[in-house]
């Protein structure tokens, strides 16, 4: 065997590993972790009234990664046939055949096991509630088949993060504050998911999938999204008062309100060309701003 062939043979496993890693991260949309993870960290900071210990933060991070990875991969499996028919999603890794269903199933099992392990390493209550959380995030994938309010179910799935982190730190749910933050997250997620679903309104109707845009049309669906975001902002104000925050947390509320307004100005019933900007850039900004302002004020005081 030539020297070049030997080098190629040695490098092939590395290339295969990199390819599989890249495709997996693409499949689970790892960049969307910016939506939920900051709220888990905020819940942990509020629960500790400061910075939790490193061990707890580590296992909260592991739990978030495991839960979200299993949920996204499971969603890809369940929706594979629909994704293959939808022009917007047919190039995703699974419907395009770049990863196999068997690989994705194994990934779901491993990710779910990592989540349950992390819950066990935190405290008894997190372990007891972990199956309920896991069932919620997996069963969400079926909701578009029977209810147009699947957006609220998705919101519930992400809303688990701040309350779950609170329980991870304290070992108890002993305050209204995490529940109010979770309500804000639920309505915030539901609102931006309605906006995102506007892209697929024609396909959803043809495929028999249910969503608020498919049922009510774009204009009314966007109005509902505004209502959801109004409730989310009111919940954030409530959380601000419960946490006893002042100037820095208040600045975060103002910035969040401006970002929500911008999100709704970017998307119109007759122009959906900026949905991705509204979905990713604006929403990642909201979660990070609230972490650094509300969480930052708790740390400073």
Average pLDDT, the chain: 90
Q: How far apart are CA 211 and CA 215, in angstroms?
A: 6
Which residue, among 274, 276, 180, 273, has the nearest Cα to 232 in the 3D structure? Answer: 180
Confidence band of 3 (pLDDT split at 50, 70, 90): very low
What per-residue confidence (pLDDT) applies to 39? 94
Whole domain around residue 234: which residue ranges?
A: 30-300
What per-residue confidence (pLDDT) applies to 10? 47
Q: How far apart are the first and last CA of the chain?
A: 67
Q: How far apart are CA 208 and CA 72, in angstroms?
A: 22
Q: How far apart are CA 226 and CA 232, in angstroms?
A: 10
Q: Is the pLDDT of residue 197 over 70?
A: yes
Q: Is the pLDDT of residue 8 over 60?
A: no
Contact 66, 111 (CB under 8 A): yes
In a domain, residue 280? The reply is yes
What per-residue confidence (pLDDT) applies to 240? 97
In a domain, residue 16? The reply is no
Residues whose CB is less than 8 angstroms from the CB of residue 53 and which lie 6 or more positions away in sequence, other chains included:
none
Phi and psi at residue 50, in whole multiples of 5°?
A: 160, -155
In a domain, residue 8? The reply is no
- Structure-model confidence comparison of residues 27 and 168, the more confident one: 168
Q: What is the pLDDT of residues 168-190, one digit of tens each?
A: 999 999 999 999 999 999 999 99
In a domain, residue 292? The reply is yes
**CATH code of residue 123:** 1.10.357.140
In a domain, residue 133? The reply is yes
**CA dist 25 → 13, 39, 118 (Å):** 18, 21, 20
How many domains does the structure of the chain reveal? Answer: 1
When pLDDT is averaged across residues 101-127 and rounded to a whole number, the result is: 95
In a domain, residue 286? The reply is yes
Q: Is the pLDDT of residue 7 over 50?
A: no
Phi and psi at residue 99, in whole multiples of 5°?
A: -130, 155
What per-residue confidence (pLDDT) applies to 95? 86
In a domain, residue 13? The reply is no
Instruction: Return the ∠ at Cα 215 (arms to 211 and 216), rounded to 5°.
Output: 115
What per-residue confidence (pLDDT) applies to 4? 46
The overall pTM is greater than 0.85: yes
What per-residue confidence (pLDDT) applies to 12? 66
With both helix axes pointing from N to C terminus, report the angle between 54-78 and 3-27 in degrees, rounded to the nearest 10: 90
What per-residue confidence (pLDDT) applies to 201? 94
In a domain, residue 19? The reply is no
**Would you give the DSSP letter of residue 292?**
I
Place of tokens 């592991």: 62
Confidence band of 23 (pLDDT split at 50, 70, 90): confident
């Amino acid at each position: 065997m030539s020297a070049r062939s030997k080098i190629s043979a040695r490098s092939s496993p590395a290339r295969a590993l990199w390819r599989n890693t890249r495709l997996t991260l693409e499949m689970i949309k790892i960049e969307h972790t910016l939506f939920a993870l900051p709220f888990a960290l905020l819940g942990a900071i509020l629960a500790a009234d400061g910075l939790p210990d490193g061990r707890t933060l580590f296992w909260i991070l592991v739990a978030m990664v495991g839960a979200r990875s299993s949920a996204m991969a499971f969603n890809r499996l369940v929706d594979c046939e629909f994704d293959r028919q939808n022009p917007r999603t047919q190039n995703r890794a699974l419907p395009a055949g770049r990863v196999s269903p068997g690989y994705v199933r194994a990934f779901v099992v491993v990710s779910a096991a990592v989540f349950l392990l992390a819950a066990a390493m935190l405290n008894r209550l997190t372990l007891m509630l972990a199956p309920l959380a896991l069932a919620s995030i997996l069963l969400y994938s079926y909701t578009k088949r029977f209810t147009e309010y699947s957006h609220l179910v998705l919101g519930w799935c992400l809303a688990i993060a701040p309350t779950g982190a609170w329980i991870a730190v304290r070992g108890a749910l002993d305050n209204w504050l995490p529940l109010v933050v979770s309500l804000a997250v639920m309505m915030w997620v539901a609102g931006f998911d309605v906006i995102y679903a506007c892209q697929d309104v024609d396909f959803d109707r043809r495929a028999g999938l249910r969503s608020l845009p498919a049922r009510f049309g774009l204009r009314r669906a966007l109005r509902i999204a505004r209502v959801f975001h109004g409730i989310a902002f009111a919940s954030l104000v409530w959380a601000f008062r419960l946490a006893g925050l002042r100037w820095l947390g208040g600045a975060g509320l103002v910035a969040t309100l401006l970002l929500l307004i911008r999100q709704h100005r970017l998307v119109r019933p007759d122009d959906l060309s900026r949905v991705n900007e509204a979905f990713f850039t604006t929403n990642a900004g909201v979660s990070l701003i609230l972490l650094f302002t509300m969480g930052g004020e708790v740390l400073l005081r």
